[in-house]
Amino acid sequence: MDSCIICGGRQSYFYELFFSPELPTPHGGPLTVSTEDGADGGAGVGSVAASALSGGADAAAVAAAAAAGGIGSAKMDMPPTVINRADASVTVLNPLRNRVLLRRLERKTLVLDLDETLVHSTLRPAGEPDLELRVHIDSFPCVFYVFKRPHVDAFLRQVAAWYDVVVFTASLHQYANPVLDALDPDSELIAQRYFRESCTLLPTGFAKDVSITRSDGDLAKAVLVDNSPSAFMINRHNAIPIETWQSNVNDEALLDLLPFLNILRFVDDVRSILSLRVAR
Ligand SMILES: [Mg+2]
């Protein structure tokens, strides 16, 4: 049996996951993906994979096809996840088969940045914040006006069902802890919290070593979503960049990530996919 070009595992495993013939695409027909140079601006597989990191369900499927086929074209019939953007609900196709497949895989860790990824906070009053936070930083009283990124509550609920969710922020715990309490009031979504003292200060800024978020330190099973490029400097092959968010009420970046994060649950080593972006 040939090995899977994505995960190094059995090829039937990959095909069963991504190329099920009986399931429709969102377009109502088979999705044809061209990965020839020129089709994506000449950058080939790397840029196709990069588009998946910010492009949503179709782009995630494209990335999988690109990685599987390398060059040429591929036909795919299965987006594993469908997002209803009207109410931010998520449908995972064929959940029974997914459960069988996941039984063979260890649960992965999703490491999320906080500021400009999940929320935006400002010291100046603006609009109607989701949270008005009064804390002391170095004994100085501060008021933070905290705004939630659109769809953050639905996003956290969904990814907590798929991953062990960790928040890793370069912010101080005096500020970040109350914000996380507001995002996860019942302490059932976020398993661990890491703050500035856990970051590594590099000339480029704060970097995050995601291996510390797992007891086994296994980087094959850890994904970091962050808006700051400096955060990725230690584990670049575990990175999913997300657009910086401050105020766009129509932002859907968190929803766009869900299909891709669903796919990543099924690979043996997340770096086999995420490193495609670095190789551009
Ligand atoms: Mg940030």
Expressed in angstroms and rounded, the spacing between residue 81 Cα and the centre of ligand 1 is 26
Q: Which domains does the chain possess? A: 11-102 (no CATH), 109-250 (3.40.50.1000)
Give SS3 for 132: strand
113 has catalytic annotation: yes
The arithmetic mean of pLDDT across residues 92-119, rounded, is 84
156 band by pLDDT with thresholds 50, 70 and 90: very high
Indicate if the pLDDT at residue 110 is higher than 60.
Answer: yes
Q: Give the pLDDT of residue 21.
A: 38
Which is catalytic among the residues 115, 164, 209, 226? 115
Q: Give CB contacts under 8 A, 24+ apart, made by 19-28.
A: 19/76, 19/77, 19/78, 20/77, 20/78, 20/94, 21/77, 22/77, 23/77, 23/78, 23/93, 23/94, 24/77, 25/61, 25/76, 25/77, 25/78, 25/79, 26/57, 26/58, 26/79, 26/82
Q: Tell me the average pLDDT of the chain.
A: 75
Distance 164 CA to ligand 1 centre (A): 20
Write the pLDDT tens digit of every residue in 35-45: 222 222 222 22
Q: C-alpha distances in angstroms, 130 versus 120, 150, 188, 280?
A: 10, 11, 20, 39
Examine the residue annotation and report whether 181 is marked as an active-site residue of this protein: no
Ligand 1 center to 170 CA (angstroms): 8
Q: Which of 20-24, 85-89, 98-102, 201-205 has the highest mean pLDDT?
A: 201-205
Is the pLDDT reported for residue 31 higher than 50? Answer: no
Report for 3-12, 101-110, 173-182, 256-265: range of highest mean pLDDT: 173-182
**Each residue's pLDDT tens digit, 72-105:** 233 333 446 677 777 767 777 666 777 777 777 7
More confident position, 225 or 25: 225
Average pLDDT over residues 189-217: 97
Q: Specify the pLDDT at position 13.
A: 37
